[in-house]
Chains A and B, each alone.
Chain A
């Protein structure tokens, strides 16, 4: 049974967590994620979930306790944003290398300094090389759907990796949205029961975890993580197809919006994809063949799918809501350009940094991007590879 409800992104994610009913949640408050733990705490207090809630004293301890719980054989979760994710940095890598299927929403927020509480993707991008699966959500519906699918992806025997489910701070987390939620029983059946392979609380088979791993084995273990990431691509699609059966909404690694015949395309994550799609629709009425590519999964990086989707496009703008300070553009720009290099078809790829610290991305900004792309397409000339949108220079 499906029900249409009006919820904020945070409420939708908390609702998904309630329906997943994890064994352990260890979390700490941070804006704009706080509501998730707050709402979830009330589920615990009212006996609506069976979860052991561990109200830790920091995000570092949140992930550390989640690691302990998952290693113990429990389905464990945490949630965070920005500085909290930065504080967790060390242990996120450990969770991935220990192959623990911890699912954690990250409500994307700019990193200090200067301190700022609003949306950008610098928090998630800081962990892009940590070995966790990163899924991005355009709106509350996707955040809800991604949370439920994340459990199945993380716990799949071929994967066994943490999954970070991203959504935009305030834009998605605090805005009321209409979405369709599934009934508890359907979610319960979909996520199933977590059956760990080896775990600390198996009295018959004690195990040592987190061992000291030297040059004779460390490298192979890292390689195994790569294999799990590779396997994850197929599993993510498989889970997406299964999810379609219960929800009517199918998910893959990317969303290709009007790319079949597109001349120009924008690549963008999370909520800004909605803005870009709206602009593309508008431009198409004016005869401009505009399209949008939204990577749903950023790690593992869906290189083949993106290459396939963009192969006939003449000019592409990658929009990054994060800086790398490499002076060569944002993080996703490097990935996309690298992906398109092998096509050897002279596709022009430019980069726009936008929305840092919650700066609004307006329709006219995206229109400007498409106009620039049209010029590049027509002239074959790129004046500036990396530009900043909506910035006072």
Chain B
């Protein structure tokens, strides 16, 4: 595994000048993933969303590799078309070089509107890597709830009101859905752990066939935390088991990180404005319910990974 120093010398393919917000998780994630593709030609596909609008404002581009944006819900289909073109043209000797294909989509473009397109692309077995940049809501349009938005979160379409305290439904488990496609590689990772991201991106790029990586990509505007604390907030997501790090390689589930002690979910929720209403007196039961959801999901995950289903020591 390369050291951070070595990785810092890899030629960047997603470069400055893009207009992502300060402290946005997307830029960090994209650079980490592309870093792992060092030495390969890459075509990036991208769903409509923050990453696309901020990085390709005509006549500029922040991409030094080939890039295609088509629409919101079709990054999976689009990149599969490019990959099919590659196979056809390679066979005919019209393209000589080797290429890797990576698609990026936000949670809206992946969990929701693009799920069918993604599912189709995965089932068809294209040699592609799909990376979901999960910031848990439609941030580009102004923080609307998606099926990736966690229980209790205050968004503009699941507002914390007098009667309804934020989003009422639990998150969709997209990573498990992708694993159910029986593709060679599926992983969930987070940017606070660069080794984990790098390793998973490498594996995803190396397997023959489709791979999917779900990356927690915090949004300072939507989550409302202190912008410079992005790594800290991501770390809390992992330590509280809100966002476990795991991978599914050829059908085998493996937990990649086990927190040493039981960190209550409040630690992750408290620094974020989107959960502020949960801390009002009388709302203790809401936090308790969220904790229960996290604990039960954790136990189920441990079981899937062949580990003893137990909570970390308090």
Interface of A toward B, CB cutoff 8 Å: 23-24, 26, 50-52, 54-58, 60-62, 64-74, 76, 90-91, 94, 200-203, 206-214, 217
Contact = CB atoms under 8 A, between A and B. Distances in A.
B59 A217 contact: yes
Interface string B181-194: 00000000000000
A64 B88 CA distance: 17
A226 B273 CA distance: 49
Given A51-B88, A54-B124, A208 B61 contact: yes
Interface stretch (B75-83, B208-216, B226-234, B304-312): B75-83
A26 B81 contact: yes
B10 interface: no
Contacts of A214: 57-58
Contacts, number: 170
Contacts of B92: 23, 50
A321 B84 CA distance: 37
B88 A23 contact: yes
A94 B77 contact: no
A362 B70 CA distance: 44
Contacts of A74: 84-85, 88-89
Contacts of A67: 70, 78, 81
Contacts of B144: none
Interface in B195-217: none
B6 to A, nearest CB: 24
B250 to A, nearest CB: 23
B129 to A, nearest CB: 15
A72 B87 CA distance: 11
Looking at A54, A207, A217, the one whose CB has the most chain B CB atoms below 10 A away is: A54
A68 B61 contact: no
Given A23-B89, A68-B85, A73-B89, A210 B70 contact: yes
A29 to B, nearest CB: 14
Nearest to B123: A57
Interface in B39-83: 41, 43, 45, 52-53, 56-59, 61, 63-71, 73-74, 76-83
Contact of A200 (B43, B96, B123): B43
B116 interface: yes
Contact of B80 (A51, A65, A90, A201): A65
A299 B240 CA distance: 59
Contact of B85 (A60, A62, A73, A212): A73
Contacts of B78: 64-65, 67-68
B84 A69 contact: yes
- Interface pairs A-B: 9 shortest CB-CB: A68-B81, A72-B85, A57-B120, A65-B81, A74-B85, A61-B77, A210-B69, A64-B77, A64-B74
Given A64-B70, A208-B63, A209-B68, A54 B80 contact: yes
A207 B66 contact: yes
A74 B80 CA distance: 13
A66 B80 CA distance: 9
B119 A57 contact: yes
A225 to B, nearest CB: 15
Given A60-B73, A73-B85, A201-B99, 15 more contacts: A24-B84, A26-B77, A51-B88, A56-B80, A56-B120, A65-B80, A65-B81, A68-B82, A68-B85, A76-B85, A90-B71, A201-B85, A203-B97, A208-B67, A211-B69
Interface in B97-143: 97, 99, 116-117, 119-121, 123-124
Interface in B127-176: none
A212 B56 contact: yes
B68 A50 contact: no
B53 A212 contact: yes
Contact of B120 (A52, A61, A68): A61
Contacts of A57: 116-117, 119-120, 123
A72 B43 contact: yes
A175 B84 CA distance: 33
Contact of B95 (A24, A65, A73): A73
B279 to A, nearest CB: 38
B68 A71 contact: yes
B94 interface: yes
B16 to A, nearest CB: 16
A68 B87 CA distance: 13
Given A64-B78, A68-B81, A212-B53, A200 B66 contact: yes
B314 interface: no
A152 B266 CA distance: 64
Contacts of B120: 56-58, 61
A200 B41 CA distance: 10
A202 B82 CA distance: 12
B86 interface: yes
B91 interface: yes
12 contacts: A24-B81, A57-B123, A61-B74, A61-B76, A68-B77, A71-B68, A72-B43, A94-B71, A203-B97, A211-B57, A211-B59, A217-B59
Contacts of B70: 64, 67-68, 91, 94, 210
Q: Which one of B65, B76, B77, B124 has the highest number of Cβ atoms from chain A below 10 Å of its Cβ?
A: B77
B117 A61 contact: yes
Contact of B68 (A24, A60, A68): A68
Given A206-B64, A209-B67, A56 B77 contact: yes
B157 to A, nearest CB: 22
Contact of B84 (A65, A206, A217): A65
A208 B64 CA distance: 9
A76 B63 contact: no
A375 to B, nearest CB: 51
Contacts of A64: 70-71, 74, 77-78, 81, 117
A23 B95 CA distance: 12
Contacts of A202: 66
A64 B63 CA distance: 21
- Which of B80, B85, B88, B91 has the most CB atoms of chain A within a 10 A radius of its CB? B85
Contacts of A69: 81-82, 84-85, 88
Contacts of A26: 77, 81, 84
B140 to A, nearest CB: 11
Nearest to A55: B124
A52 B89 CA distance: 10
